[in-house]
Structure 1
Amino acid sequence: MIQALSGDVAFLQAIRDLKFDGFIHTIFSKTVNIKCRESGELYTLACNRLDNAPNSLIIDINCFSNNHLELNDQVFIQKSTLSIDNKMVIRLEDVKGWECSLPCYPLNEQRLIYNLAIMKGYIEFNGKSGGMKKDSQTRNPFEVEMAKMLEERSYSLLCSLVNNNESEAVNHALSLIGLGPGLTPSGDDYLTGLMTTFQLLNCPCYSLKEFCERVILKAKHLTNEISYMTLKMASVGKVRESIVHLLCLAMYGEEKELIKALQHVLQIGSSSGTDISLGLVSGLETILKISSTRRNIHVNH
């Protein structure tokens, strides 16, 4: 019997309503992904070293390496437990509910502007290369070309967003999906960060939400299921707890706390944390540029 420590409230509700029935989709050392038969969505069991995330349940286990779990093992509800065949039983009583709640975009943007400069500098020197952050040491022609494509397509995307050309922006975003190394490709991780910022409460660029909706409508078959679910959640403002914390500090925090939160996100995956962080920075800078342009137009009129 393993105790569940905390979990996404929507996942917990589905379990408590006895409406969850699924099977193991993928197995990693720190996570196990479960596919729900009814919705087709992925849910995650995560070890106690990870932070809360959408559709996830943190359980009191160090890793999943020695639990003899296999792909397609059945996952079902039994009384107040979540069971995986006869191999694992997870106790759900006393579990702490968690729900992603993004912060409000600030009325005064000066702290955000200052903190973005800090984030960019820190990522430049401490972020992991090989994805959105170019590896200046590589001589591999494939990696050089991949880095060039990621840079050019992300730049074109941001230009289209700032110039309010939504259709063009959607096409550039779709060209990033599935591009780059990693289980969640670098282009996907970058878009995860970017789209998250457009879901901030009181975001002055409301039209950017529609951009996210249009991207997700066409994204499903361009990448793998795990990465697609991450993108889909980000497009409606649902991301892991460490990313929410970093966003809060980017807009309102002091340098010391900001760097600590950024370090935590940069540790995600191989280059995923760096790619997500660069997406967050790009998204916040895009909002700043668009809102500044609108203010200038308003003043001139």
Structure 2
Amino acid sequence: MHTYQSLSGTQKFLDEIQKKQWRGEIHSTFKRTINIICTEGELYTIAAAELDNAPNTLRVADFFDRRSLLVEKTPVFSQDGHLVIGKIAAIEIQSAHIWQYPKIEFPPKQEYVKIKERIKQINSWLSQLESKGGYLLNTTQATTYEKMIHTMLWKESEQLLIYLKAKQLFQAMKQLYRVIGLGPGLTPSGDDFLVGLALIFTTVDYPYHSFSQWLINSRNELKKRTNTISFSTLDWAIQGESRERIASFLNELFYGKEEERLKEKMLAVLRIGSTSGGDMLTGMIAGLELTLALISDTENEKNGY
């Protein structure tokens, strides 16, 4: 059995390996990630060194050279400060750097004009990119099926945003269930859009607390309507956490000053999965535009307009 060194991980995952009799099994394997489902049903991930940090994730050096031996249902357990995978590998966690998703604060009023300009610039950059699929599909290069899915995604998501803008949360909840699971792929585009939306609604000092509570209230039904991997990402977003590069992008969008740096952070998000990054980005922009529109409407009402 070969021993590998962990590079970084979340406090919760490291604590469970160190302090608990933790048990699970391999749920799914990919080129640079291995998902483990524990006996309580929660999903954890071992990720390659070149990937960024994420919730419930342990980044490990040189681990994926033996990926072919790591098959579904292989038992995984904690033992003496190591995460042991069958009779194949043991991952030492003592050297792991603890990573924590930063608290992202919703920007103050004085930033709103600048944020609107940054959103405008992002939309301009996105319009110049080659077809990414999902919400960002270039329909001139797409198949009939891709165009149909693209149209459905926007139709259902825009209706969701209409209900949210009117604060009709009961109707919005029913519409939410039309977006979840919509689109092909391991993490459907509709799910990824909702991840982006949730990450805006769960920022610190977000002005509309009812939106985050609306998502929490929808959690159990959402879980039934999509797959385990996709729901895990969405569930973390509902709790206000996501990947490191998402946090970096949001901080730059809210408070950044350099255009090239914003573009660099945006492109890093777009590199998540095949279309997932673009779909999450679309959700974040939609959530932010919705919020700014609601704030503007509130200000106009106060001023008697």
TM-score, with normalisation over the residues of structure 2? 0.94
For residues 104-124 of structure 1, what are the alpha-carbon distances to aligned partners after superposition, in whole Å with 9 as ceiling and x for unaligned? 111121221111111111122
> Structure 1: how far apart are the matches of 2:68 and 2:105?
42
Unaligned runs of 5+ in 1: none
Unaligned runs of 5+ in 2: none
> CA 1:65/1:300 → structure 2, altered by over 3 Å: closer, same or farther?
farther
> Structure 1: how far apart are the matches of 2:233 and 2:163?
23
> Structure 2: how far apart are the matches of 1:82 and 1:190?
33
User: In structure 2, what is the equivalent of residue 76 of structure 1?
Assistant: 77
* Alpha carbons 2:249, 2:266 under 8 Å: kept: yes
1:88 maps to a residue whose letter is: A
**Deviation, structure 1 residue 64:** 5.4
User: In structure 2, what is the equivalent of residue 262 of structure 1?
Assistant: 266
1:78 maps to a residue whose letter is: Q
Cα RMSD, aligned residues only: 1.6
**Deviation, structure 1 residue 144:** 2.1
* Alpha carbons 1:24, 1:33 under 8 Å: kept: yes
* Alpha carbons 1:31, 1:64 under 8 Å: kept: no
> Structure 2: how far apart are the matches of 1:19 and 1:173?
38
Is residue 2:171 matched to residue 1:168? Answer: yes
2:278 maps to a residue whose letter is: T
> Structure 1: how far apart are the matches of 2:236 and 2:286?
19
Pairing partner for 1:282 from 273, 283, 286? 286
For residues 41-64 of structure 1, what are the alpha-carbon distances to aligned partners after superposition, in whole Å with 9 as ceiling and x for unaligned? 000000001000011111112635
> Structure 2: how far apart are the matches of 1:169 and 1:96?
41
User: In structure 2, what is the equivalent of residue 101 of structure 1?
Assistant: 102
> Structure 2: how far apart are the matches of 1:175 and 1:186?
12
**Aligned pairs, number:** 300
* Alpha carbons 1:216, 1:231 under 8 Å: kept: no
User: In structure 2, what is the equivalent of residue 188 of structure 1?
Assistant: 191
**Deviation, structure 1 residue 34:** 0.3
Is residue 2:7 matched to residue 1:2? Answer: no
Trace 1:52-71 onto structure 2 (pairs within 5 A). Answer: 52-61=53-62, 63=64, 66-71=67-72
> CA 1:269/1:166 → structure 2, altered by over 3 Å: closer, same or farther?
same
Q: Secondary structure at the match of 2:229?
A: helix
> Structure 1: how far apart are the matches of 2:219 and 2:118?
29
2:15 maps to a residue whose letter is: Q
User: In structure 2, what is the equivalent of residue 129 of structure 1?
Assistant: 132
> Structure 2: how far apart are the matches of 1:256 and 1:129?
21
**Deviation, structure 1 residue 143:** 2.1
* Alpha carbons 1:76, 1:83 under 8 Å: kept: yes
**Deviation, structure 1 residue 132:** 1.0
User: In structure 1, what is the equivalent of residue 47 of structure 2?
Assistant: 46
* Alpha carbons 2:132, 2:274 under 8 Å: kept: no
Q: Secondary structure at the match of 2:303?
A: helix
* Alpha carbons 1:205, 1:291 under 8 Å: kept: no
Pairing partner for 1:237 from 229, 236, 240? 240
> Structure 2: how far apart are the matches of 1:70 and 1:156?
42
1:42 maps to a residue whose letter is: L
Q: Secondary structure at the match of 1:71?
A: coil
> Structure 2: how far apart are the matches of 1:210 and 1:198?
9
For residues 173-209 of structure 1, what are the alpha-carbon distances to aligned partners after superposition, in whole Å with 9 as ceiling and x for unaligned? 2111111122101000111011111011111111111
> Structure 1: how far apart are the matches of 2:300 and 2:165?
14
* Alpha carbons 1:6, 1:96 under 8 Å: kept: yes
2:107 maps to a residue whose letter is: P
Q: Secondary structure at the match of 1:300?
A: coil
The share of aligned pairs that are identical, in percent, is: 33
**Deviation, structure 1 residue 129:** 2.8
Greater mean alpha carbon deviation, residues 288-297 or residues 123-132:
123-132
Trace 1:31-42 onto structure 2 (pairs within 5 A). Answer: 31-37=33-39, 39-42=40-43
> Structure 2: how far apart are the matches of 1:76 and 1:142?
43
* Alpha carbons 2:18, 2:82 under 8 Å: kept: no
Pairing partner for 2:25 from 16, 23, 45? 23
Q: Secondary structure at the match of 1:89?
A: strand
